Structure 1
Amino acid sequence: MSRLNVPTPEEVPAGAQRILDNVGAQLGFVPNMFKTIASNPTVLEVVTSLQATLSRVLDAKTRHSIALAVSQANGCSYCLAMHTHVATEFSGMPRDDIELGRIGSSVDPRRAAAARFAQRVVDSRGQVSDAELAAVRGAGYTDPQILAIVALAVQFLLTNFIKNVNQTDLDIPAVGPVDTAVAQ
């Protein structure tokens, strides 16, 4: 059960309603996460603006792999369910690649390097080793792209923390535990 107040449609501040309408138009429904954040229009604007801006960096499947890796690292069941849904429905990612993303990998070696690096950024609180930085560079990522990976990790960290604090009620199918055998 959500621990923060979820405003009723009548309680949603005017500035937030426009944003919720845009989210609903994009996804086909307004997820509980956004409904909760709508109680603070400024935070809602920050989250949605950050998402919109960072949707222009890297390709969609790489962003989804990073989202899954970060959400798994943070134990955010809501985010794992939502990112699984979005990756499947909007990017056509196959189930095995979604599972790999959760463990910081991918069917694509370059995307695997980005997911693994993002997961290490989160796990190490940004204190990545020289070898980890060299590995993501070795996969072909430039310094501007590495900055994008870090920014995406922080974006997902922000929403993971909001959802974990709130214990946001799932409004989409839950995902089960990650199958670590997929990495074998």
Structure 2
Amino acid sequence: MPRLNAPAPDAAPGGAKGVLDQVGAQFGFVPNLFATLASNPTVLDVVMTLQTTLSRVLDAKTRHTIALAVSEASGCDYCLALHSYVSSELGGMSSEEIDLARAGRSTDPKRAAVARFAQQVVDFHGQVSDADLAEVRSAGYTDPQILSIVTVAVQVLLTNFINNVNQTGIDFPDVPPIGTTR
């Protein structure tokens, strides 16, 4: 049960109503995360601005891979469900690719390095080793791209933390633990 109050979409304060309408049009409903964020239009704006801005860094499958790896590492069931849905339905990722990303792996060596690195960033609170940096660099990532990876990971952590604090009700298809049948 959610621990923070979320206004009804039609009662959202300030400019949040317009944002919720846009999100609702994209998903066909207003996901609980965005309804919760609407209680503070400034926070909603921050999250939406970060998501929009970061959609210009890295390719979509790489961003989805980071989101899945980070959400698994931080134990956010809501974000795992949301990112699994988005990765599958909008990102064209297979169930196998989604499970691998959650496990910090991929069949694509470059995305595998990103998934591992993103999980290291979370697990070690950004204090990654020289070997971690060398591994992501050897996969072909430049220092500006590594900054993008870290920034996407932190943006995902922001919503992971909000949903973990709130215990946001999952309104996307549940995802089973890694390695179980879908």
TM-score class, shorter: over 0.9
The equivalent residue for 2:2 is 2
Q: Name the aligned partner's letter for residue 62 of structure 2.
A: T
For residues 63 and 148 of structure 1, do their structure 2 counterparts lie closer, same or farther at Cα, with a shift above 3 Å needed? same
Q: Deviations over 1:96-129 (max 9, x none)?
A: 1100000111111101101110110011000000
Shift in Å, 1:11: 2.8
Q: Distance in 1 between matches of 2:27 and 2:116?
A: 27
* Unmatched tracts of structure 2, length 5 or more: none
The equivalent residue for 1:71 is 71
Q: Distance in 2 between matches of 1:29 and 1:144?
A: 36
Q: Name the aligned partner's letter for residue 120 of structure 1.
A: Q
For residues 10 and 94 of structure 1, do their structure 2 counterparts lie closer, same or farther at Cα, with a shift above 3 Å needed? closer
Q: Does 1:163 align with 2:153?
A: no
Q: Residues 42-121 of structure 1: matches in 2 within 5 Å? A: 42-121=42-121
Give yes or no for contact 2:20–2:35 (8 Å, CA) kept in 1: yes
Give yes or no for contact 2:9–2:20 (8 Å, CA) kept in 1: no
Local SS of the residue matching 2:11: coil
Q: Name the aligned partner's letter for residue 8 of structure 1.
A: A
The equivalent residue for 1:125 is 125
May I ask how many residue pairs the two structures share in their alignment? 180
Q: Name the aligned partner's letter for residue 63 of structure 1.
A: R
The alignment's C-alpha RMSD in Å is 1.1
Shift in Å, 1:14: 2.8
Q: Deviations over 1:37-81 (max 9, x none)?
A: 100000000001100000111111111110000000010000000
Q: Residues 3-18 of structure 1: matches in 2 within 5 Å? A: 3-18=3-18
Shift in Å, 1:23: 1.3
Shift in Å, 1:28: 2.5
Give yes or no for contact 2:10–2:17 (8 Å, CA) kept in 1: no
The equivalent residue for 1:174 is 174
Q: Name the aligned partner's letter for residue 127 of structure 2.
A: Q
* Unmatched tracts of structure 1, length 5 or more: none
Q: Distance in 2 between matches of 1:8 and 1:30?
A: 10
Q: Distance in 2 between matches of 1:105 and 1:63?
A: 14
Q: Residues 129-148 of structure 1: matches in 2 within 5 Å? A: 129-148=129-148
Q: Distance in 1 between matches of 2:132 and 2:14?
A: 45
Shift in Å, 1:6: 1.2
Local SS of the residue matching 1:125: coil
- Ranges of 4+ aligned residues in structure 1 off by more than 3 Å: none
Q: Distance in 2 between matches of 1:29 and 1:146?
A: 34
